[in-house]
Chain A
C-alpha cells in the first residue's frame, strides 16, 4: 500500500445530476410524475375549479350561493338531516365494533367471519338499498318474523323513512368500522394485557387502563373514516329514505343543484359546504385525540 501520488488526481466538483441525486431526485423519482400530474389534473384542479366556481353564482354577488344555502331551510336543513343520520350511525357502529373486535380477536378462524362481513362492502350501497326495500318492507321477511314471534301486531314502517336509511348505513357501515377496529385491536401486544393481569387488574380495568388509551388514536381514525362514509350517503337516502323529507341529505341537494337545476356553481358551493362540514368534524375528533397517549401501541417492539 502506497499513498497514491496526487499527480493523477482529477479534480471535479459534483455535477448537477449528482447534487439532485443526493437530494433524492433521479430517474427513479421521475416515475412518480405521471401519477402526480394525473392527480393534479383530476383531483386538485377540479377541486380548485369547483371552489372558485362556487363564488361565481348565476345571479347575485360572489357569496350569493352561500347566502342562498344558509337562508333557505330546504337547503340548510340538509346539514342537520345528514348529521342526524351519520353521527348516530357511526357511534352505534363503533360501539358495536369494539366489543365484537375484542371477541373476534380470540377466534382462530376469523377469515370466514371477515369474508361474510366484506360482502355488503363489496356489493355496495345500491344493492343493499334494493335488498332492504324488499326485506324490510311491510310484507318482507323481517316484519313477518316479528309478527309471527308475536313481538309486534302491525308491521313496522321501516322503508321510505329515516330508519330505512339508518339500517342501510348499519349494513354497509358496520363491517367497515368493524374490520378497521379489528386491525387496530389485533395490533396490540397481548403481553401488555397479561402484564396488567399479573399486576392485579380485572378485565374491565385492563380495558379501561391498558387497551382504551392505546386504542384511542385508532378509534378516532376509525370514527372519522366511518363518519365520512356515512355523511356522504346518497343512493340509499334516495331509494330507501324519504328524499324530500327527513332523509334529504346534503348529497341530494348537491346532486339536484347540478343535474336537475343545471346550476353547477350552486352544486359546487354545496359540495364545498359538504366537504367543509366533514373536515370540521374530522379535525374536531382528531384534535381531541391529542388528549390521549400518542406513541406506538405495540410496546418495546415498536
Chain B
C-alpha cells in the first residue's frame, strides 16, 4: 500500500459564516476535526450540512470566519489549491473519460509523471476492487461501481481530508449497506480523515467516530454515536435519533435531574435533558421500542389503536389518545384495531425536553 495520505494534525472551522442565500446560511459554525477521525455531519435537508462541506472544499466562499489546516488558513484558497478529495452526491464522474482517466484526473492536473499516475491508479483500483473495469466509461458502470470510481478518484490524490457528500443516497437499500462497510474499510485501511455528510442517522451512527448534528445552520450537538443515541441534548436531536413519540405536557415537578409531566391528565416521569421550570410546557420523548402495552398506572396512557403492522419479529402500531396525541408503539402480540389499551414506558427511557424556541431552535 503506497497511497499515503498527507498528514496533518487538525482541521479547524472557526466561526464559519455564510450569510447569502437565506436557505443555506451558516451561523458561526466552529468545529475541530482531528487526524484519522471519521466525522458525520447529520441533519435534515437545508440544515447547512452540505454548505459546510462545500465551504471546506472551497466550492462556496465563506462570508465570515476562517478555516485552518494546522497553521495555514485555507478558506481564502481556491478549491483546486486545497488538495482535498471529494466524493459527490451523484458522483460527478466525467462522462467522457474512462474509469482509469477519471481516477487519474487529479494526478494529471498536478503534472504527475505518467508512469506514477498508472501505478497509483492501479493501487486505487485494487483498493476499491475495480480491477478489470478500467477502460469502461462511467455510463457503462452500475451505481455501486460508479461509487467506487468516485471514491478511488478522491483518494488517489492522497488528500489530507476526504469529503463525502451523501455518497450513498443514490443506491438501493442493499447496495447502500454494502458500500457503507466499504467506505469504513477504506477509511481504516488508509488511515484517512473523512467528513461525511448525510441525512440518514443510521448511516451516521454506524460509520462515524463523531457525529455533528446541524439544524438551521447551527451546530446542535456534537458527540459519539452512543452519546447522541442515548442522550440527545435537544428535542430536535432526539427527533432525529428516533424518539418518534413527543408528548406535550406541563412540568409538574423537577427533582434531581428528573422531571414529572402532566400529559393529558396522566403523569409521565423521565430524565430531564434541559433545564425546566415548573409550570412550563415540555415534551416527553419516547422511542417506539420503549413504548409497549401495559397496565393503567405509572407512565401509562390510555389510547385507541388505529393501525397495526406486522414487522417480522414484532408488531408496530399507531394509536391516538383522547386528547389527540399520536403514538407509535411496539407490541409482541397482535392488537385489535379500535381497541382501547394502555401504553407504558420505562421512566429511565423517557427523556424530557423544554419547548423549542420558535424560529431559531
Interface positions of A (Cβ within 8 A of B):
1-4, 6, 8-14, 18-19, 21-22
Contact = CB atoms under 8 A, between A and B. Distances in A.
Contacts of A8: 14, 66
A12 B61 CA distance: 13
A9 B65 CA distance: 7
A12 B64 contact: yes
Contacts of A2: 32
Contacts of A11: 64
B295 interface: no
Interface in B145-188: none
B31 A1 contact: yes
Contacts of B65: 9-10
Contact of A10 (B19, B21, B66): B66
A21 B62 CA distance: 12
Interface string B284-315: 00000000000000000000000000000000
Most buried by B among A1, A18, A19: A1
Contact of B14 (A9, A12, A21): A9
A12 B19 CA distance: 13
Judged by DSSP, the binding face of B is strand
Contacts of B210: 1
B14 A4 contact: yes
Interface residues of B, number: 19
A21 B18 CA distance: 13
A49 to B, nearest CB: 41
B133 interface: no
A59 to B, nearest CB: 59
A12 B14 CA distance: 13
Interface of B: 12-15, 19-21, 30-32, 61, 63-66, 210, 212, 222-223
B27 to A, nearest CB: 14
B58 to A, nearest CB: 13
9 contacts: A1-B31, A4-B14, A4-B30, A6-B15, A9-B66, A11-B64, A12-B64, A13-B63, A18-B61
Contacts of A9: 14-15, 65-66
Nearest to B20: A22
Nearest to A13: B64
Given A2-B32, A4-B15, 11 more contacts: A1-B32, A1-B210, A1-B223, A3-B30, A4-B14, A8-B14, A9-B15, A9-B65, A10-B14, A14-B19, A14-B64
A238 B222 CA distance: 81
Contacts of A6: 15
Q: Which 7 A-B pairs have the closest CB atoms?
A: A22-B20, A14-B63, A1-B222, A4-B30, A4-B14, A9-B15, A3-B30
Contacts of B14: 4, 8-10
Given A1-B32, A1-B210, A18 B15 contact: no
B76 to A, nearest CB: 10
Contacts of B19: 14
B98 to A, nearest CB: 29
Nearest to A26: B61
Given A4-B30, A4-B32, A9-B15, A18 B63 contact: yes
A164 B193 CA distance: 78
B56 to A, nearest CB: 15
Nearest to B73: A10
A4 B19 CA distance: 20
B342 to A, nearest CB: 42
A12 B62 CA distance: 11
Contacts of A21: 61
Contacts of B15: 4, 6, 9
A220 B13 CA distance: 56
Contacts of A3: 30
Contacts of B13: 4
B15 to A, nearest CB: 5
A27 to B, nearest CB: 12
Contacts of B63: 13-14, 18, 22
B165 to A, nearest CB: 21
Contacts of A22: 20-21, 63
A136 B137 CA distance: 56
Nearest to A9: B15
Nearest to A2: B32
Given A12-B64, A13-B64, A22-B20, A4 B12 contact: yes
Contacts of B21: 22
Contacts of A14: 19-20, 63-64
Contacts of B222: 1
A3 B31 CA distance: 6
Contacts of B66: 8-10
Contacts of A13: 63-64
